[in-house]
Amino acid sequence: MLDKRLQSVAGLVRCGARLADIGTDHAYLPVWLVAQGICPSAIACDLREGPLENAGRAVAEAGFSSVIDCRLGDGLQPITAGEVDDIAIAGMGGETIAAILEACTWAKDRALHYVFQPMSRSEELRRYLLTNGYRIVSELTVCEGGHWYVCMDAVWEDTPPIVDEAAYVIGGLSATADREWLLLRQAVLKKRYNGQLRSGDREELDRLRAILKKLEEFLS
Ligand X SMILES: C[S@@+](CC[C@H](N)C(=O)[O-])C[C@H]1O[C@@H](n2cnc3c(N)ncnc32)[C@H](O)[C@@H]1O
Write out the residues near ligand X by the rule CB under 6 A: 6, 22-25, 45-48, 51, 74-75, 90-92, 96, 100
The alpha carbon torsion through 26, 30, 34, 39 (nearest 10 deg) reads: 180
Our CB check for ligand X shows the closer of 3 and 109 to be: 3
Identify whether the C-beta of residue 207 lies closer than 8 Å to the C-beta of residue 161: no
Tell me how far, at minimum, the Cβ of 74 lies from ligand X, in Å.
Answer: 5
Our CB check for ligand X shows the closer of 22 and 208 to be: 22
Task: Fill in the amino acid letter for 169.
Answer: V
Our CB check for ligand X shows the closer of 51 and 167 to be: 51
Our CB check for ligand X shows the closer of 19 and 211 to be: 19
End-to-end CA distance of the chain: 38
Burial class (CB in 10 A: 0-12, 13-18, 19+), 72: middle
Tell me how far, at minimum, the Cβ of 48 lies from ligand X, in Å.
Answer: 4
Tell me how far, at minimum, the Cβ of 87 lies from ligand X, in Å.
Answer: 12
Tell me how far, at minimum, the Cβ of 97 lies from ligand X, in Å.
Answer: 9
Tell me the C-alpha to C-alpha distance, in Å, between residue 155 and each of 32, 109, 134, 160.
23, 8, 6, 13
Our CB check for ligand X shows the closer of 105 and 220 to be: 105
Tell me how far, at minimum, the Cβ of 100 lies from ligand X, in Å.
Answer: 6
The alpha carbon torsion through 32, 35, 41, 46 (nearest 10 deg) reads: 30
